[in-house]
Amino acid sequence: MVQNLFILFILKRSEFVFSFFCRRLLSVIPTLLFCTVLVFFIIRLIPGDPVDHLLGERGADPELKQELMTKWGFNRPYYQQYFIFISRAMIGDLGQSLTSGRSVLEEFVNRFPATIELSFFALLFSLCLGIPLGFLAALKVNSIWDFICSGFSLVGYSMSVFWWGLILILLFSVYLGLTPVSGRIDILYEVKPITGFMLIDSLFTSFSAFKSALKHLILPVLTLGTIPLAYIMRMTRFSLLEIFKEDFIRTAKGKGLGFYRVYFVHAFRNALISIITITGLMLGSLLAGAVLTETVFSWPGIGRWLVQAVLARDYPVLQGGILIITVVIVVVNLLVDLLYSKADPRVFN
């Protein structure tokens, strides 16, 4: 009897999760279509012509220009170009870069590991500092610790990434000489790309190569992780302060439960919904490519790749790259929604 009830509970819960997942997938389709329409037409409002930019001084040759316009389909009406792009994207063909001639999907796959590596460590840095500092500020509310943590959070939230990156370079690279300025590894090391993640691939070369890759990662991580750290710290503090006022916390204290059970088991678990939400948003934005951070530190990731595509008027790269990024953000948000059930089982009820 108990076994049957347990199986029925599992099936019922799986049905709730599956139904929730299907509803979210249905909402994803119009989101992706809207993003493709928006990106397709907005990038064509950028001043300049991709063919003229590619030809340079030879752009005065009208026959050559017309030949390239016909080859790439730029002489067709916009609606035809859009439907050609969508029909090819549905089968995985995102076109070829106008500047490099390589597949857009291939270029994305080659550069995305660099963005993942940078984003992962930036988010890890934010979580490892943001959650404890937010917890400390909530426990010591209106104390000197609260003012220090809140002030640090406000500074990090308001700071310009471009300015902060330059300050770190001047301090740690120029004056102290502790870290390199840009790139992923020193040019002295020839690392064979196995996984695309420099920290992992450098281990197969030598330990000194690994140290070089780690040093190159420090400043970009500090720069990119500062704003997420501020968000996570503020959200943790705010959520815990609200939960500390709830009746179940007072009841737990009245029962004589220990510090760990009151604040970590009961309070912190209920605050996880807000923390997971802000973490998912931060992760989605980080994986989309940290444009300013990658530009300042010459990091060969997605953000810098898209900036170069804008400057070159490389329409296929912009269309395909932003479409893949949109899919990545949507998938991350879906995973975050599914994580809610671990923090609060009532989500799917």
Q: How many other CB atoms sit within 10 Å of the CB of residue 298?
A: 12
188 lies in some domain: no
Number of domains forming the structure of the chain: 1
The CATH number covering residue 332 comes to 1.10.3720
Which residues does 250 contact at the CB level (< 8 Å), separation at least 6? none
Which residues does 47 contact at the CB level (< 8 Å), separation at least 6? none
Give the global pTM. 0.81
58 lies in some domain: no
Single out the residue of 312, 340, 335 nearest to residue 107, CA to CA: 312
pLDDT of residue 56: 67
Boundaries of domain holding 128: 2-43+76-145+225-348
192 lies in some domain: no
Single out the residue of 5, 348, 295 nearest to residue 160, CA to CA: 295
Contact at 8 Å (CB) between 229 and 129?
Answer: yes
9 lies in some domain: yes
Contact at 8 Å (CB) between 229 and 125?
Answer: yes
151 lies in some domain: no
The whole-angstrom separation of Cα 180 and Cα 199 is 15
Integer CA distances (angstroms), 26 to 19, 38, 280, 323, in order:
11, 19, 20, 17
pLDDT of residue 160: 79
The whole-angstrom separation of Cα 150 and Cα 80 is 53
37 lies in some domain: yes
Low-confidence ranges of the chain (pLDDT < 50): 1-11
pLDDT of residue 349: 54
In a 10 Å sphere around its CB, with 0-12 CB exposed, 13-18 middle and 19+ buried, how is residue 262 labelled?
Answer: buried
Q: Give SS3 for 103.
A: strand
48 lies in some domain: no
Contact at 8 Å (CB) between 131 and 232?
Answer: yes
pLDDT of residue 347: 55
